[in-house]
Amino acid sequence: MKNLSEYTGQKLLLIQPKVFKRIHELRLEDEVLGVVQLNGFFESTATFECSQGKWEIFKPSHWKSTVAVRQAGYENPFAQFVKDKWKNNGTIELPKGEKLRLINNMWKGTYELQNVSGVKLVGFKRMVAFKEKMEISIEYHSELLDKNPWILIMAWFISLENRRHAAAV
């Protein structure tokens, strides 16, 4: 997979090729850029693998809204998503003190990944279909995205968690 900035202006799809399999693919048209496997009880862990590495995105606690990421095979997380109180928005805290904002528009079914200045880096739009499908548009060049391609999957995983939580209420 190339750096994510090289896909600026293009539509990536995160799709579930087979309905009853918990495997998703990050694609650009027919090219598979990465594979996501949902694991665990209530799909509480996602493993993302691409040419740049392999990461695990997980909920450290069932009782908290935090989502963390670690390299596959390691125990300690190196980044986390911290949800704002009373909202589905939050902050992705990266290594070296870097941060990104994840903004949810509940009425439109969309998410935005923004830098700390409020510039929209990536847009996420859930596509209504029998199979899970999300359109991802990279809108602005960011070195943080290039260094951390797992951020796209973390944002998608958080959207799954939010939908699961909303359905339970």
Residue indicated by tokens 């190196």: 78
In this structure, the strands spanning 120-126 and 133-138 are antiparallel
pLDDT tens, residue by residue, 109-167: 799 999 999 999 999 998 876 667 899 999 999 999 999 999 999 999 998 887 766 55
Q: Where are the domains of the chain?
A: 4-168
pLDDT tops 90 at residue 106: no
Mean pLDDT of the chain: 88
Please tell me the predicted confidence (pLDDT) of residue 43.
63
Q: For position 162, what pLDDT does the model report? A: 78
Q: What average pLDDT score do residues 77-103 get?
A: 92
pLDDT number for residue 64: 78
Q: What was the pLDDT predicted at 56?
A: 96
Q: Quick one: what percent of the chain has pLDDT higher than 90? A: 61
pLDDT confidence of residue 70: 96
Closest CA relative to residue 152, chosen from 17, 76, 18, 52: 52
Comparing 16-20, 89-93, 96-100, 105-109, the range with the smallest average pLDDT is 105-109
Q: Tell how strand 67-71 and strand 79-83 pair up.
A: antiparallel
